[in-house]
Structure 1
Amino acid sequence: MARNGYVARPRLRGRPANPGRLPTMSLGSSRLLELRKLARLAAPLALVHAGNQLMTLVDMAFVGRLGAVALGGIGIANGIFFTVSTLGMGAMMGLDPLVSQAVGAGDPARARRWLWQGIWLALFVTIVLSIPIAIAPNFLVPFGIEEAVAREATTYLNIRLVGLYPMLVYVAVRAYLQAMGVTRPMFISVVAANLLNVAADALLVFGGEILPAWAGPLRSLPAFGVAGAAVATTLCTILQLAIITSAVGSVEVPGFERGMRRWLRSDLLAALKVGLPIGLQMAAEVSIFALVGLLVGRMGAANLAAHQVSLTLASFTFTVAVGIGAAGSVRVGRAVGARDIAGVRAAGLTAIAAGGGWMALSALVFLLAPKALAGLLTDQAGVIEAAAPLLMIAAVFQLSDGLQAAGSGVLRGAGDTRFPFLANLFGYYVIALPLGLWLAWGMNLGAAGLWWGLCTGLTVVAIALIARFRRISSRPIAPLSPMAPAAAAGVAGEA
C-alpha cells in the first residue's frame, strides 16, 4: 500500500494500533506468523551470505589443487584480510539499525540519506584500514610462518586490497536494500559473481591450457596460481557492487534531495558510534580464528591446510546463520522504529531459534561425513585425515555459532552494539584462547586443542547474547537518534 508517496512492502502492513500489544491471536499463531515473515526476508539474505562465502570455498577448492603451501598461504591471507576488513564491514553495519528503524518509522528519505552517509564512510574507513593490510605480510616470517607460505599470502593480500572499497560500499548498499525489503538484486549479484568466480578461478589459477583448442590465443594465458584467485575474487566484488547499486535507483523516495548526498560530519560520527562496536565485535571473532590459524601454522603446512579446509567448511554453513541474523536485525529494527514492544521480542526470539535450528542440522552433516566434506576442497590424503577430527569438533560448536550469530543480529537491530563486542572479547580472549593454548600445548592435543578452546568460547558468547536480548526486550527500546532536522534542512536545497 502507499505510504508517504512510496510503495511499502507487504510485511510492513498490519502494525498493531496499540504498539505495546500484538494483535489478538494465539501465541502459537503469532510465532508462526513471525517465522513466516522472517523466512521471507531471511531466505534471500541467507542465500546472499552463503553465496559470498561460496566464492571463498571455490577459491580454496581450486587453490587446494596446487598443494599445501598455496592452500596455507591463501588461508593466512584470508585470515589477515578479513580480520582487518571485518572491522570496516562491522563499522558499515552500523547502518543496519539506522536504516531499518527509519523504515519502521515511515521515513524512507531518512533511510536514503543514511545510505549516502555510508558510501562516504566506506571511503574514510578504506583509507584507514589499507595501512595494516599493506604492512601485515612483513610480520609473517618473524612469527614463524614458512617463507614459501608467507610469499603466497603476501601476493594474495596485495591484490585483494584493491577490492576493499567496493566491498565496504557493497555493505552500505546491502543494508539499505534489505531494510527496504528489496532483496532480489542482491541474490542476482551473488549468482552472477559466483558464475564469474568459477570461470575466472579456473582460467587464472590454472592458465589457458585448460581451455579447448578452439579457444585459440587464450590457451597461451599463463597460470597465475594464488594471484589468479585473488584477481578473480576482486573482479567478483566489483561486479556485485555494480549490480546492486543499479537497483537503488528503482526505489522511489519522495522528499529526497540531491543535496542530501553530501557527507555530514555529525552523521558520520553517529553511524560510527553505532557501527564501531559492531566492527570491534566482528573483528574480535574473526581475529581469534586468524590467530588460531597463525598458531596452527607453526605446526607445519599440512596442519595449516587442514585447519583452513575445516574453517572454510564451517564458515560456509555459518553464513546462513548470519543471513538469519541479518533478517532478524531488520525485523527487530522495524519493530523498534514502530515502537512495537511485543514485536521486538517476537522477532528476536524467532530469529535466534531459527539460527540455532539451522546450525543443528549442519552439525549432523559434519558428524556424518567429515572426510567426504574435506575431500571437496583438497585431494591430499594427509590433509583430509588431519581435517576430519577438526570437522567433528566444528560439528559440536555449530549450534553455539548459529545462536550467537542470530543473537548478534537481533541485538544490532535493537541498537545494542556495545554488549556483543564485550561478550565476544570475553568469550574469545579470556576463555577460548587461554583454554585452547593449554589444550594444544599443555595437553598435547595440537590443532584440536585450539579448536576445543574456540568451541567453549563460542558457547559462552551465545549464552551471553541470548540472555542479553531476553532482558532488554522485556521493556520498551528507544529508537536510535535520527539525523538532526537542522542538518537535513541545511542540505535539502543544495545541488
Structure 2
Amino acid sequence: MYLSYKTEARNTLKLALPIIFGELAQMSLHLIDTAMIGYTGYKQLAAAALVLNVINIPFIFGIGVTISVAQMVSLAHGKFDKQQVSHYFYNGFWLCAVFGVLISLGLFFGRDILLHLKQDPEVVELAMPFMTLMSFSIIPMVLFMTLKQFADGLQYTKTAMALSIAAIPLNVFLNWLLIYGNWGFPRLELIGAGYATLITRVTIFVLLGIVILNHKVFKKYMAVSKTQWKIKKETLVQLLKIGIPSSLQIGMEAGAFAVSGILVGTIGAAEQAAHQIALSSAAFAFMVSLGLSQAGSIRVSHAFGTTNWKRISVIGKSTVILALIYGAVCCILFAVFKQQLPLLFNHEENVISIAAALLLFAAAFQIPDAIQATSAGLLRGIKDVNVPTFFIFIAYWVLGIPLGYLMAFHFGMAEKGVWIGFISGLSFSAIFLTIRFLKKTRQHLS
C-alpha cells in the first residue's frame, strides 16, 4: 500500500507540474503588473488593487464554469469515448464564451460601483479607465482557460503551460513600453498596464486555439462525428451542474478576499497597498496548491469514470499529503522572508512595514489553504459539489468575513483583524472538506 501511495503521488505530481508552471506563469503576469505599477506610486498600486478586488468575484465565477469542461472531458476520456470528449468540448466552449461576454459587459456597464465604495477619491479616479480595460480582457482570458481546461482534461498539460510562460516576457515588454513610455510610446502608467494585459490575453487565446484546432494530439477530438458538434440542452445542464457549484466555491473564496481588500481600503491607501502586496504573495504560493488540486481532481475524475474507488482513495490521500508538505514549506518561507518580499513591489517604508506584518498572517494560513484547495478539487473529481459549496459558504461568509470585520473595526486590529478572519475561514474549510472526502471514499470502499 505504501508503494501505491508513492506511485500515485508521483503520477499526480507528473500531471500537476505543467499545470503548476502554467498557473505560476499566469500569476506572474499579475505580480509583474503589481510590481511595475507599484513603482509609479502607491496610489496607482492601490487603484489597481481596487479594480482587481471588484472584478475578481465575477471573473472567478467565469473561470469556475470552465472547470466543468475539464471534469466532463476527463470523465469521457476515462471511458475512452472520443465522441463524448468532442461533444463536451464544443458545448463547454460556447457555454463559457457566453459567460465571459456577460461578465465583461456587466463589469463595463457597472464600473460606477467604484464611486460608491468609500475609497480614496484620487484612487477611484485612477481606477476608472483601468476598470474598463480589465473588463474587456476577461473575454479572451475565459476563452483561453476553456481551451486550457479541455487540454488538461485529456491530461495534455504542457501546451497551455508553454503559452502561459511565453506570455510573461510579452507582458513585461508591453508594460515597459506602455507604463513607462519607452521607445517613444506615451507614458500611460496604470492604463498602460491595462492595455498590456488585454493584448497579452488575446494573444495567448488565439495561439492556443490554433494549436488545439490543428495539432495532431487534439485534432482527433475535433468533430469526431458532426452530430457531436451540436449544442444540446442536456449537455449544457450537465456542465452547469458541475460549473455553477465550482464557480460558487472558488467565487466565494475569491469574493471573501476581494471584500477584505475593499474593507482594508477604507482604512487607508497605504494599508490597501500593503494588503495587496501580502495577498499577491500568498496568491502566488497558492498557485502550486491550485495545480495540485486540479491534477488530483482530473486523476480522480478519470478513476471515477471506471468507479475504481480504491484508486480514488489512494490518489486523494496522497494528494492531500503533498499539499500538507507544500503548505508547511510555504509557511516557513513566508515567515523567514517577510521583510524582503515587500521590497519587490514598493519602497515606501510605511507600506513595507505593514506588508511585513501581514505576511506573518499569510504564513499562518499556508497549510489550511493548501489542504482546503486540494480537498475541494478531489470532491469535484467525484462529482460531489453541493455539500462542499455549503461548507465553503460557512467558512468565508458566516465565519471568515464577519470575524475579520469585528476584529478589524470593533476590536481595533485594523488590517490585521481582517487577516485573522482569513485564517479562521481557511481552517474551517480545510477540516470539513477533507473529512467529507475521506468519508465519501470510506463509504464506497466498505
Regarding TM over 0.5, the answer is: yes
The secondary structure found in structure 2 opposite 1:200 is: helix
Aligned residues: 441
Q: Percent identity?
A: 26
User: C-alpha deviations, 1:76-121, integer Å up to 9, x for none?
Assistant: 1111122111111112212222111111111122112111111110
Q: For structure 2, which runs of at least 5 residues remain unmatched after alignment?
A: none
The secondary structure found in structure 1 opposite 2:328 is: helix
Structure 1 residue aligned with 2:439: 471
Q: From 312, 315, 323, give the equivalent of 2:283.
A: 315
For 1:370-381, list aligned pairs within 5 A: 370-381=338-349
* Residue 471 (structure 1) shift: 1.0
Structure 2 residue aligned with 1:129: 103
Letter aligned with residue 165 of structure 2: V
Q: Distance in 2 between matches of 1:345 and 1:275?
A: 23
Structure 1 residue aligned with 2:136: 162
Q: Which has the higher helix share?
A: 2
Structure 2 residue aligned with 1:182: 156
Structure 2 residue aligned with 1:270: 238
Moved more, 358-367 or 241-250: 241-250
Q: Does 1:141 align with 2:115?
A: yes
- Contact 2:50–2:262 under 8 Å retained in 1: yes
Structure 2 residue aligned with 1:452: 420
For 1:269-308, list aligned pairs within 5 A: 269-308=237-276
What TM-score results when the alignment is normalised by the length of structure 2? 0.96
The secondary structure found in structure 1 opposite 2:307 is: coil
- Contact 1:275–1:417 under 8 Å retained in 2: no
For 1:1-150, list aligned pairs within 5 A: 27-150=1-124
Structure 2 residue aligned with 1:418: 386
Q: Distance in 2 between matches of 1:272 and 1:174?
A: 18
Q: For structure 1, which runs of at least 5 residues remain unmatched after alignment?
A: 1-26, 209-218, 478-495
Q: Distance in 2 between matches of 1:266 and 1:298?
A: 46
Q: Does 1:235 align with 2:199?
A: yes
- Contact 1:137–1:153 under 8 Å retained in 2: no
User: C-alpha deviations, 1:238-265, integer Å up to 9, x for none?
Assistant: 2222232233232243781244223222
Letter aligned with residue 357 of structure 1: I
Q: Distance in 1 between matches of 2:106 and 2:219?
A: 40
User: C-alpha deviations, 1:56-83, integer Å up to 9, x for none?
Assistant: 0000010000111110111111111221
Structure 1 residue aligned with 2:209: 245
- Contact 1:100–1:330 under 8 Å retained in 2: yes
Letter aligned with residue 317 of structure 2: L
Q: Does 1:345 align with 2:329?
A: no
User: C-alpha deviations, 1:154-207, integer Å up to 9, x for none?
Assistant: 222211222222212222211211121211211210111011011111111101
Q: Distance in 2 between matches of 1:475 and 1:134?
A: 48
- Contact 1:109–1:253 under 8 Å retained in 2: no
* Residue 124 (structure 1) shift: 1.7
Structure 1 residue aligned with 2:146: 172
- Contact 1:88–1:168 under 8 Å retained in 2: yes
Q: Distance in 1 between matches of 2:179 and 2:55?
A: 20
The secondary structure found in structure 1 opposite 2:36 is: helix
Q: Does 1:390 align with 2:358?
A: yes
The secondary structure found in structure 2 opposite 1:223 is: coil
CA radius of gyration, larger in: 1
Structure 2 residue aligned with 1:427: 395
Q: Distance in 1 between matches of 2:421 and 2:20?
A: 27
* Residue 379 (structure 1) shift: 1.6
- Contact 2:100–2:143 under 8 Å retained in 1: no
* Residue 338 (structure 1) shift: 1.7
Q: Distance in 2 between matches of 1:166 and 1:334?
A: 28
Q: Distance in 1 between matches of 2:226 and 2:37?
A: 46
- Contact 2:78–2:302 under 8 Å retained in 1: yes
CA RMSD of aligned residues (A): 1.5
Q: From 185, 190, 193, give the equivalent of 1:226.
A: 190
The secondary structure found in structure 1 opposite 2:379 is: helix
Q: Distance in 2 between matches of 1:166 and 1:54?
A: 18
Structure 2 residue aligned with 1:365: 333
Q: Distance in 1 between matches of 2:385 and 2:297?
A: 11
Letter aligned with residue 148 of structure 1: E
- Contact 1:97–1:414 under 8 Å retained in 2: no
Q: Distance in 2 between matches of 1:63 and 1:395?
A: 25
* Residue 36 (structure 1) shift: 1.0
Q: Provide runs of 4+ in structure 1 moved above 4 Å.
A: none
Q: Distance in 2 between matches of 1:118 and 1:82?
A: 22
* Residue 346 (structure 1) shift: 0.9
The secondary structure found in structure 2 opposite 1:220 is: coil
* Residue 131 (structure 1) shift: 4.0
User: C-alpha deviations, 1:232-287, integer Å up to 9, x for none?
Assistant: 11222122222322332322437812442232222112211211011111111111
Letter aligned with residue 62 of structure 1: M
- Contact 2:84–2:228 under 8 Å retained in 1: no
